[in-house]
Every structure is written in C-alpha cells, then in structure tokens.
Amino acid sequence: MQERGVTSLERELELAEANYHLLKENNVRAISVMGALGSGKTSLIEKMITRLKPCGTGIGTICADCAGDDDHQRFLACGVQSVSVNTEDNCCLDALSVKHALQSLSLETMDLLFIENVGNLICPADFPVGAELELIVISVSEGESVVRKHPKIFSQTDLVVVNKIDLADAVNVSPQVIVGDYAQLNPHGKVVLADVFHNRGINALLQALEIECTTGQW
C-alpha cells in the first residue's frame, strides 16, 4: 500500500506545533495578534509594551506586513527585540515564516512575544503559527456585523478587543452588539472594550491575558 503523502495543512500544523514547543521550552508566552488594517493592533501592542517594560518583562515582536517595516520600526523604538517579516504576495503569516523569525530572536531573554499578523480577518484563520493564545483587535468603524461576517476566525480565537469605542456614536455602532455576537459564536472567548488612543482598556486586557505587571512574572 502506498503511503499517504503529507498535505499542506498537515505540514502547517506540524510547523506550528514545533514553534509552540520551542517557545514553551524557552518559557516564552506567545500571543498572536490579528485584525484588519487600521484596527489598532500596533498601537495596542505598543501600549502593552509601555506598561510591561518597567516590570522587567522581556518582550519581543514578530511584525508582519506585505511590504515595508513601519510597524517594526515602531516596536524597535519601544526598546524591544523585533523581527520584520514581509509576506509579499501572501495574505498572512505562516508557521514557516514564524519559525525563521524565531531564529533571529534571543528567546532565552524573553518572557513575552507578540506576533502581529498582516491586516485582515480571513487568511490568518487557516494558518496557525504556534502561539499560545490568539487575540483579535477590531475597530467599531468596521461595523456591527464584523463578527457575523467572519465567523471562522472569531470562533477559534481566545480574546477580542473592541477598539475605538470613543467613536462608536459617531459611526452609529453599538459595541454591545459586537460583544453579543461574539458571545453567541464563541461562548468561551473573552472581550475587552478599549479606546487605545486614550489608554482605556489596557489594564483590563492585561488582566484578561493574565499578565501581571508587578514583578514581570506570570
């Protein structure tokens, strides 16, 4: 009997699992941060870095964009390790790209790794990267139906940040509708309402992630 070949999906899962175990072996907690362009992913990561660095937390980032390194440079300016990944024609990060990025980071000095994906809510759902936890950032400007329009990715994520709630009235969106849709689709997930620009919701997010900012320890 001919041995069945390994499918692309199986290979992706194997690579993601290898990344997961490598991070665990080095006691690095990896958080995959996903969301559409303009949702506030980079700003949110910056705010968390600013809160956590004084605690002595070792932080790194893997920053993906189709082209350029603008967000990567923002993370470097925060004083953390960062690797820029240009996906070019690919619509999101994959486990192999993350594997290569990890080789450029000093994992032994790191406690926390943010893996910021390319800005969309479709492709990343099919490409696990080996993170311990998956977080989605959405802006109220994406509309009340954003969860209903992207059920696959929201059904498998651990936490959602509904950002820019200060603009909710201006765009005629109720954040509670988004919260309700997510709760119905994924009753085990957590939701944090945030206005990242004005530093609202950052502490609640760190609590939801179970990150303590007292000694730098988890």
- Global pTM reads 0.92
> Contact, 101 vs 85, CB < 8 A?
yes
User: Tell me, what's the pLDDT at 78?
Assistant: 96
Calpha distance 158→186 (Å, rounded): 9
Domains and CATH numbers, the chain: 8-208 (3.40.50.300)
User: Tell me, what's the pLDDT at 3?
Assistant: 44
Calpha distance 130→153 (Å, rounded): 15
In this structure, the strands spanning 81-86 and 112-116 are unpaired
Calpha distance 100→87 (Å, rounded): 13
Quick one: tokens of 56?
Answer: 């002595």
pLDDT by residue for the chain (218 residues), tens digit each? 344 445 677 888 999 999 999 999 999 999 999 999 999 999 999 999 999 999 999 999 999 998 999 999 999 999 999 999 998 888 899 999 999 999 999 999 999 999 999 999 999 999 999 999 999 999 999 999 999 999 999 999 999 999 999 999 999 999 999 999 999 999 999 999 999 999 999 999 999 999 877 544 44
Q: Read off the amino acid at residue 70.
A: D
Q: Give the CA distances from residue 54 to residues 48, 51, 79, 180, 203, in Å, rounded to whole numbers and listed in that order.
A: 11, 7, 11, 36, 14
Instruction: Summarize pLDDT for 116-160 with one digit per residue, the tens.
Output: 999 999 999 999 999 999 999 999 999 999 999 999 999 999 999
> Contact, 153 vs 121, CB < 8 A?
yes
Beta strands in the chain (DSSP E): 29-35, 59-65, 81-86, 112-116, 133-139, 159-163, 190-193
